[in-house]
Chains A and B, each alone.
Chain A
Amino acid sequence: MSLFEARKVTKRFGGLTAVNAVDFNVQQGEIVGLIGPNGAGKTTFFNVISGFMKPDEGDVRFLGDSIVGHKPSDICKRGMTRTFQIVKPFPEMTVTDNILVGAFNHHRDAATANKKAREVMELVGLGAQAEKLGRELTVAGRKRVELAKALATEPKLMLLDEVMAGLTPSEVTGMIEVLGRVREAGVTMVIVEHVMQVIMNLSDRIYVLHHGEAIAEGSPKSITSDPRVMEAYLGESFVAEPGGEHAS
């Protein structure tokens, strides 16, 4: 049984089909990458599988149960959480309290939740900024808080939406390290990313979305040599034989 599975997920906005019958699965312990050119439907797909949008068709299953129609907070309780591309730290809370909100997910008691929050803070490398307010942080700091908040909910599966965007190369290296530690802690991850280097290095498997459809799936190596992927990214003129199947 897959840890997570999306079957024939479709999402339409009026006449526009943003996501078209996408199949997607994640096994325990994997890091799965999700890429695609701008407007490929990644964000919509991400919103659907994380419970922030309801699919028009198809099913989304986590730990064998359908989570369609469940609230994101319920899904989080079951062990799946997400981060936002436009990071959302609570601006008027300290870093500790930000993470504490996440830690309360499985610990009603403030003392144990606090302990959990400290643990996560160390893992993510935010110890020095514990007392800063959310709004006082740099972009890199915010991204880490975003990750820490999600991690504090003790997820089995974490969906990360562009955690590298806006970071300097050295910050990216730092973040890759952090994600490595997160993986060692036994958390399965789905990452949406624009920084190719990151996704190629981290992912075990990659899905490519184009015009709302999953056009390819496989190891980073096989993806880079897939003509459909090249076509999607570089345009038809670069490819000898156009695929010719576009979603309306």
Chain B
Amino acid sequence: MIRLRDHWFYLVVLAGLIVLPLFTDSDFVTAVMPSGLSGSALLHVFILMFFFAFMSQSWNIIGGFAGQLSIGHAAFFGIGAYTSTICYIHLGLSPWLGMFVAAGFTAMIGAGLGLISFHYGLRGPFFTLVTVAFAEITRLILLHWNFVGAANGILLPYSRDAGFWDFQFNGKEPYYYIALVMMLCSIALVAWVARSRFGYYLHAIRQDEDAAEAVGVPTKRCKIQAIALSAALAGLGGTFYAQYTQYIVPDDMVVGRVSVEILLGTVIGGAGTIMGPIVGAFILISVGEATRVIFEGGGTGISLTTLIQSDVGLAEKFSGYLAYLAGGGGGGLAVLLYGVLLIAVVLGMPGGVLPWLTRKRKSFAKSDKKGDS
């Protein structure tokens, strides 16, 4: 669904990303980027971006292509992280293999969830509610299961001589390239899906399930396959996250906020498109970093609680509060913008930014009559 002439643009970007780690410490980058955004900090931002793009791409298969809105993908993500980590700690299995155990396990759970939901004919919002409940149940199990550290989570054992097989590295560069390759693989997978019968079937299901069923689309089976594939990718992402942060804990991973962040990139970039999730992740991380940089050093050091309990008059409290807000308040501005972006996209450009741009360009270059597909 991408025009040929788009490809060289993506290739140039890719080439740039491949050589980027060589330059993150250069004088040029340090001069151009805002303070604090060079070296490993800059790499970290890109790792986050690739990781987000990868997770969004995973959601794209079930949420974008098949149109089944899951708000529970944090569960697959968390289960993936826990599975490979447990395999590593208790069985000594390399996370490189563990991540595929994790993917297989999350795929099975995803298929099970799909089997139950779709067997009972749950559609639309009711499927969404099931995914929300599923994520919450997963969180509660992890939170109370002592074997996996309950509320404390698991701190991955750090060893000085950890090597490649331990999926543990000292610098950020290896993680950078791993995340980049994972993102590229997810794009390749989705591109393949988009052109295959499976992809057409998923698109048909999203638009009209009855009509799809009537022309021979096995809707239930396709949806189960889609959620299993999607869950498998989210499981892989979980392993990467566990290895990168070296610390997993239910309340950081299996919460609604994470589920929403996973779908955010896809919905903003363009659900059901190949590059939409990538564009979305890029937009989100850029917005997040920009707000962080702009309001950096923010916070006047005023604590809201102290302010309220202080022994001054209302007027003084009020002016103190204004100063508190001017200093960035309690933070959260990046998420505030995420919310605004999501609302704006839903209301202003349903389908996402990428399809919107494509349409704009099409109407701009009307001479080019051939559609893309």
- Chain A positions near chain B (C-beta within 8 angstroms): 50, 52, 71-74, 76-77, 81-84, 88-94, 96-97, 100-102, 104-105, 108, 110, 113, 131, 134, 149-150, 152-153
Question: Which B residues touch A110, using CB under 8 A?
Answer: 195-197
Q: Is there a chain A Cβ closer than 8 Å to B15's Cβ?
A: no
The one of A50, A81, A84, A134 that contacts B216, using a Cβ cutoff of 8 Å: A81
Task: Please state if A92 and B207 are interface contacts (CB–CB under 8 Å).
Answer: yes
Known A88-B211, A110-B195; judge A77-B203 contact (CB<8 A).
Answer: no
* Residue contact A101 to B201, C-beta cutoff 8 Å: yes
Q: Least Cβ distance of A134 to chain B in Å?
A: 8
Out of B201, B215, B370, B373, name the residue touching A153 (CB < 8 Å): B215
**Which residues in A have their C-beta under 8 angstroms from that of B214?**
50, 52, 72-73, 76, 81-84, 88, 150
Closest approach, in angstroms, between the C-beta of B53 and any C-beta of chain A? 23
Counting contact residues on chain B (CB < 8 A from A), the size range is: 20 to 34
Instruction: Provide the residues of chain A in CB contact with B219, threshold 8 Å.
Output: 73
Interface residues of B in 321-373 (CB under 8 A from A): 370-371, 373
Question: Pick the contact of A101 from B210, B215, B371 — CB < 8 Å?
Answer: B215
| Contact string against A for B residues 186-201, beta-carbon threshold 8 Å, 1 for contact and 0 otherwise | 0000000001110011
Q: Which residues of B contact A (CB under 8 A)?
A: 195-197, 200-201, 203-204, 207-208, 210-220, 370-371, 373
Closest Cβ of chain A to B270, distance in Å, is 12
Q: Is the CB of B197 within 8 A of A90?
A: no
A88-B210, A104-B197, A110-B197 known; A73+B203 contact, CB < 8 A:
no
Indicate if the CB atoms of B216 and A102 lie closer than 8 Å: yes
Alpha-carbon separation in the docked complex, A92 to B200 (Å): 12
Given the contacts A52-B210, A84-B211, A110-B197, A101 and B204 also touching, CB distance less than 8 Å: yes
What CA separation (Å) do A97 and B211 show in the bound complex?
A: 14
- Chain B residues within an 8 Å CB radius of A71: 213, 218, 220
Most buried by A among B201, B370, B373: B373
Q: How far is the CB of B23 from chain A (nearest CB, A)?
A: 41
Give complex CA distance A247, B220 in Å.
37
Nearest residue, chain A, Cβ from B369: A131
Bound state CA distance, A96 and B370, in angstroms?
Answer: 13
Residues on B with beta carbons closer than 8 Å to the beta carbon of A113: 197
Taken together as a complex, chains A and B put the C-alpha atoms of A104 and B197 apart, in Å, by: 7
Cβ B216 vs Cβ A104 within 8 A: yes
B204 to A, closest residue via Cβ: A101
**A173: min CB distance to chain B, Å:** 26
Please name all residues of chain A whose beta carbon is closer than 8 Å to the beta carbon of B201 when the two chains form the complex: 101, 104
Q: In chain A, what residue has the closest Cβ to B215?
A: A102
Give CA–CA (A94, B1) in the complex, Å.
12
Apart from A94-B371, A108-B197: 4 A-B pairs, beta carbons within 8 A: A88-B211, A89-B211, A101-B201, A149-B211
- CB-based nearest A residue for B199: A110
Nearest to A89 among chain B residues (CB) is B211
Chain B nearest CB, measured from A116 CB (Å): 12
**Given A104-B200, A110-B196, do A90 and B220 touch, yes or no (CB 8 Å)?**
no
Which residues of B have CB within 8 Å of A76?
213-216
B residues in contact with A81, CB < 8 Å? 214-216
- Closest 5 pairs between A and B when the two form their complex, measured CB to CB: A88-B211, A105-B216, A76-B216, A90-B207, A102-B215
B211 CB to closest chain A CB, in angstroms?
A: 4
20 contacts between A and B (CB under 8 A): A50-B214, A73-B218, A84-B211, A90-B203, A90-B211, A91-B207, A92-B203, A92-B207, A93-B203, A97-B203, A100-B200, A101-B203, A104-B197, A104-B200, A104-B217, A105-B215, A105-B216, A108-B197, A110-B195, A131-B370
The CA of A3 and the CA of B189, in the complex, are separated in Å by: 42
**Would you call B373 and A73 a contact (CB within 8 A)?**
no
Closest CB in chain B relative to A47 CB, distance in Å = 10
Interface contact B210-A73, CB-CB below 8 Å: no
- Asked whether, in the complex, the Cβ of B216 is within 8 Å of the Cβ of A73, the reply is yes
Checking B203, B208, B218, B220 against A88 with a beta-carbon cut-off of 8 angstroms, the contacting residue is: B208
B217 contacts A101, C-beta separation under 8 Å:
yes
- Residues on B with beta carbons closer than 8 Å to the beta carbon of A101: 200-201, 203-204, 212, 215, 217
Q: Which residues of B contact A72 (CB under 8 A)?
A: 213-214
What is the CA–CA distance of A89 and B207 in the complex, to the nearest angstrom? Answer: 9
CA distance A134 to B204 in the complex (A): 12
Return A126 CB to nearest CB of chain B, in Å.
15
Contacts of A93 in B (CB 8 A): 203-204, 207
Chain B residues positioned under 8 Å from A105 (CB to CB): 215-216
